Amino acid sequence: MLDKLKKVKEALQNEIEAAATLKDAEQLKIKYLGRKGAINDLMKLIPTLPAEQRATFGQQINSFKIDITDIINEAFKKLSSESIPKVKKEIFDVTLPGKRPFIGKMHPVTRTIEDIKEVFARLGFDVAYGPEVELEYYNFEALNIPPDHPSRTDFDTFYIKNDILLRSQTSTVQIRIMENQKPPIRIIAPGRVYRPDTVDARHSFMFHQVEGLLVDEGVSFSDLKGVLNQFIKTYFGKDVQMRFRPSFFPFTEPSAEVDISCSICSGKGCSVCSYSGWVEILGAGMVNPNVFKSVHYDPEKYTGFAFGMGVERIAMLKHGIDDIRLFYENNIHFLSQF
Amino acid sequence: MKISYNWLKEYVYFYLSPQELADKLTNVGLVVADVKTVEDDFCLDVEVTSNRPDCLGIIGIAREVAAAVGGSLHFPEKNFLSSNTEITKYINITVEEPVLCPHYTARVVRHITVEPSPEWIQKRLRCVGIRPVNNIVDITNYVMMETGQPLHTFDLDKLLDQKIIVRRARSGEEIVAINGARRVLFHDMLVIADGKRPIAIAGIMGGKETEISESTRNVLLECAQFEPRQVRRTSKAVGIASDSSYRFERGTDPEGVDYASQKAVGLVKDCAGGEIASGGIDIRSQRYEREKVTLRMERVHKILGLEIKRDVVSDILKKLQFNVINEVDNYIDVEIPSFRGDVYREIDLIEEVARMYGYNNIPVKTSISVRGSAKSKEEIVEGYIRQFLIGLGFYEVKTFGIVDTSSLQRVNLWSDKEGIDIANPLRQDESRLRTCLLPSLINTKRYNINHGTEQLKIFEIAKVYLAGDKMPQEKTCLSLIADTDFYTVKGIVESLLLNLGILSKCEWTIFNESRLFSNEKATKIQMDRVTLGCLGEASKELGFKTSTSLLELDMDFLVEKSCFTKKYQTLSLYPSVLRDLAIIVDEEVTWADIEKCIASVKISFLKEINFFDIYRGKQIPAEKKSMAFNLCFQAQDRTLKNEEVDIAQQTILDNLCETLGAELRK
């Protein structure tokens, strides 16, 4: 029986070599593997064999069938690659863009406030809020800005009526917090403020500030410098330098303007810093004893510092934005950049 | 204030270039905004803060420079010869309001010649940005720029009755100021009058009728002190501000009047000739007493966090012309010079010490204590919502709280009352505090459409301002616009409310009370009978070409009701069984009816009901609809048998048929 198998195989090999086209190979496939093919003919012989040989022969035919199939498939492969005009294989292009989900963006002013909040939160500052429509008292008198005082010139204000106005600074929140809490106090207060400034690239009648206040026993100007130094190095980068200049705010004494070395020109001088190498980023100082008096804190016992910064200004510096109006036009091509 | 570099050098020795000087001044708090070359001089533009009127004169700046660089001060002489005729022969002066005018002086110079002032005066005035007029006017400006003390000259011959009266204006009195402005005066204003009429608004501006002209022969030089708040109020009321009012409202040196007066008459005689009447009129309501302040060294240390020796402190104060009366142990008693009205407390002296010691020399300390700080609920909810919406493709926008009064902005979702108006708006048509965020978002969408972006999802979290009793109510709202249909935005809101733990408490009702929303597809969301917000497709009136949906929610209420504490439900170990069901019901039957009806059957192992399709059309009778949903059954304690699920499903179906007239769609 084995001889029979061998002969069939030899015959096939000869015929395969002779096969020149796919069609020839197809016919061979039918001839050997088809329903009426050589293999099936061999299968039909099994029942004629003595019982003890049937199993062995069956196995032999099966492995023989696998060999034949391989030979024929090999031929197919060979012939198809020769006869069919070559179709270029698809090439996987990793550089094609992926299917990006569409994600929105946080407004750059919010982003900036969140970043500032984050830094101060890690220094133990809580976030506090206050009303935007305020009593004149909180915007002025309690902050040591009496009526008819020339410092009011710096705080032009929208009025609703008599003693009600739109707050022109977030320092109002200082008073509201201190009225309701005893020291120690450590807060920052972000929010909108309004000033009747004519709108141009640098001015907007509405903008955002972040106010900070820390009151406790034994707080000094030196601590103020320490905290702001931490903030500046964390927020703007550890190589950024800080400079304090004496200034005047009615609610702090001593008062300071704080500059940082210009990040655009690294302090060499450029148009952003008016060729001074420094840009002003916030106002700060020790809480004026008069402010403590208006909230009934004992200025002999408690000392504290306060600071305030313009959010848009910081965002403009950080991102190199040259026109404040862009923040409120809300052009998607602007918003999508941050 | 603009100062001349050369002029300054006359009063203080220093060896600094204009730029070095600018840096020095900036470091002690006098920011130099600009240094310009003017002819053979330099002009420094110094920003003087409102608490330092003493620096509104070059002598004041010289004091600062002397203190900062250690150079010595020397002020010019002010000697002059006067004639034998007493001033009282020419003028009679009365001060009726000693509180508003604590000090009034006058001098008279006769037989002068009004002509252009000498070149050296003109040059200095040009350098500091003042236009030369004639010798008399120029001299008053020159002395003001030098001392910070404003002066005024009257044409003596034009004063009626040879009188000057410092009095309140009579209501209705008029004056034409030197700048040509005619003003009606009121009783609360202080004027300088002659025998008949006001000849100057005190401290603000002189009158046209008595001003110096080319024909003036005899002049009266006024040098006085006026109460600052009075000057400021009047200046605002009459709408006239001048170099003079600018200085008076900040406060002038109570001991500086005489020096300025003498300096000025001396210059008049030098430049315009004539003879100075003997003596001067000097009316002072009370003697000025210099303030005395005690500085405690431990307080310096406490405020500044700086260890500094007493002699260093007293040296700084002396350089600033403070009079150190006494130095013992840990105290320094200081007499404050009259020109430093801003210094009257210990803290003010501490600032002076810090300023001159150098803010940048104070140590940077980082010894504040550790303190925990957690986010407040409103921050958590707001932060969550922001991230949620951004993840869904929404851009956050920020729009103004002050809006116009157009009909779009008059839409009001939160109150029946009109919005609150600003008394002094920048522009008449932008005068209202908004009562709703959506109109601003609609405008933002329109802006973007005009700039080429049609497809847009935006949101804003901000306040609206609703009229209240005294103070308005400020409500934080969340508002959004998306280029989608109603159910997409509803789905977003449901997801949001689900995650905030309040979806199950919300009720959705048809809403057709606002012009912003379509009448068909809009809903009001309520919770505990309070409106949480409104959601719907945009009204056709708004003119959007593609399907657009709007939402506005009350964030304060949302924050209040939000609940992040979630309780764990044990996971079932047994498989769930899903059954799809489609029923045909009348158009009027809502999904809520169906849900309620199913829930009323109370099958303990019914876990979820999920709607998936609604169909109207072929095979469904008119005015009916097919609602398809699946029921998810799962027990906590066993594998459900098919038979019991069958029974449950049939019970549900029977109940739907009975209560809602539903029939199973085959």
Domain presence at residue A156: yes
Identify whether the C-beta of residue B123 lies closer than 8 Å to the C-beta of residue B41.
yes
pLDDT higher than threshold 70 for residue A2: no
pLDDT tens column, A241-286: 999 999 999 999 999 999 998 877 777 777 777 777 888 999 999 9
> A198 and A308: one domain?
yes
Domain presence at residue A121: yes
ipTM of the assembly?
0.90
pLDDT for res A1 = 67
Domain presence at residue A101: no
From A39, A68, A83, give the residue that closes a domain.
Answer: A83
From A46, A67, A83, give the residue that closes a domain.
Answer: A83
Q: Please give the Cα distance from A336 to A319 (Å, whole number).
A: 13
List chain A residues with CB under 8 Å of B453. Answer: 332-333
The answer to whether the Cβ–Cβ distance between B303 and A303 falls below 8 Å is yes
> A272 and A185: one domain?
yes
At which residue do the structure tokens 């449950």 appear?
Answer: B648
pLDDT for res B250 = 95
Q: Please give the Cα distance from B192 to B209 (Å, whole number).
A: 13
> A132 and A56: one domain?
no
Nearest 5 degrees, angle CA A202-CA A203-CA A207?
A: 115
Q: Which phi and psi angles does A273 have, rounded to 5°?
A: -100, 20
Tally the domains of chain A.
2
> A298 and A197: one domain?
yes
Domain presence at residue A96: no
> A324 and A239: one domain?
yes
Domain presence at residue A90: no
Domain presence at residue A103: no
The answer to whether the Cβ–Cβ distance between A220 and B368 falls below 8 Å is no
Q: Please give the Cα distance from B259 to A16 (Å, whole number).
A: 127
> A55 and A116: one domain?
no
pLDDT tens column, A9-34: 777 777 777 777 777 777 777 877 88
- CATH code, A142: 3.30.930.10
Using CA atoms, how far residue B161 sits from B89, B177, B193, B195, B217, in Å, is 12, 21, 11, 5, 18
Mean of pLDDT over chain A = 88
Q: Is the peptide bond before A184 cis (omega within 30 degrees of 0)?
A: yes
pLDDT tens column, A61-110: 788 778 778 877 877 777 776 665 666 788 898 999 899 999 999 999 99
Q: Which two tokens stand for residue A274?
A: 């008016």
Q: Is A230 on the interface with B (CB under 8 A)?
A: yes
**Surface of B (272-331) touching A: CB under 8 A:** 301-306
> A230 and A296: one domain?
yes
pLDDT for res B238 = 95
The answer to whether the Cβ–Cβ distance between B463 and A132 falls below 8 Å is yes
> A21 and A117: one domain?
no
> A65 and A161: one domain?
no
pLDDT for res A58 = 76
Under DSSP, the state recorded for A201 is S
Residue ranges of chain B with per-residue pLDDT less than 70: none
The answer to whether the Cβ–Cβ distance between B347 and A253 falls below 8 Å is yes
pLDDT for res B434 = 95
Identify whether the C-beta of residue A144 lies closer than 8 Å to the C-beta of residue A172.
no
> A126 and A74: one domain?
no
From A66, A83, A100, give the residue that closes a domain.
Answer: A83
pLDDT for res A326 = 96
Residue A128 CB partners (closer than 8 Å, separation 6+): A173, A176, A177, A187, A188, A189
Q: Which two tokens stand for residue B147?
A: 């001392």
pLDDT-above-70 percentage for chain A: 97
Residue B501 CB partners (closer than 8 Å, separation 6+): B562, B563, B564, B565, B566
What is the residue range of A184's domain? Answer: 108-335
Domain presence at residue A185: yes
The answer to whether the Cβ–Cβ distance between B364 and A151 falls below 8 Å is no
**Surface of A (125-154) touching B: CB under 8 A:** 125-127, 129, 131-133, 135, 147-151, 153-154
Average pLDDT over residues A46-56: 77
pLDDT for res B111 = 95
Domains of chain B: 2-69 (3.30.56.10), 82-284 (3.50.40.10), 292-358 (3.30.56.10), 377-561 (3.30.930.10), 577-664 (3.30.70.380)
The answer to whether the Cβ–Cβ distance between A206 and B26 falls below 8 Å is no
Grouping H, G, I as helix, E, B as strand and the rest as coil, residue B506 is strand
Domain presence at residue A249: yes
pLDDT for res A87 = 67
> A289 and A256: one domain?
yes
pLDDT tens column, B538-574: 999 999 999 999 999 999 999 999 998 888 988 999 9
Q: Which two tokens stand for residue B348?
A: 């003010």
> A119 and A175: one domain?
yes
Nearest to B661 by CA among B629, B621, B613, B616: B621
Residues linked to residue A247 through DSSP beta bridges, in sequence order: A255
pLDDT tens column, A155-191: 789 999 889 999 999 999 999 999 999 999 999 999 9
Q: Is B363 on the interface with A (CB under 8 A)?
A: yes
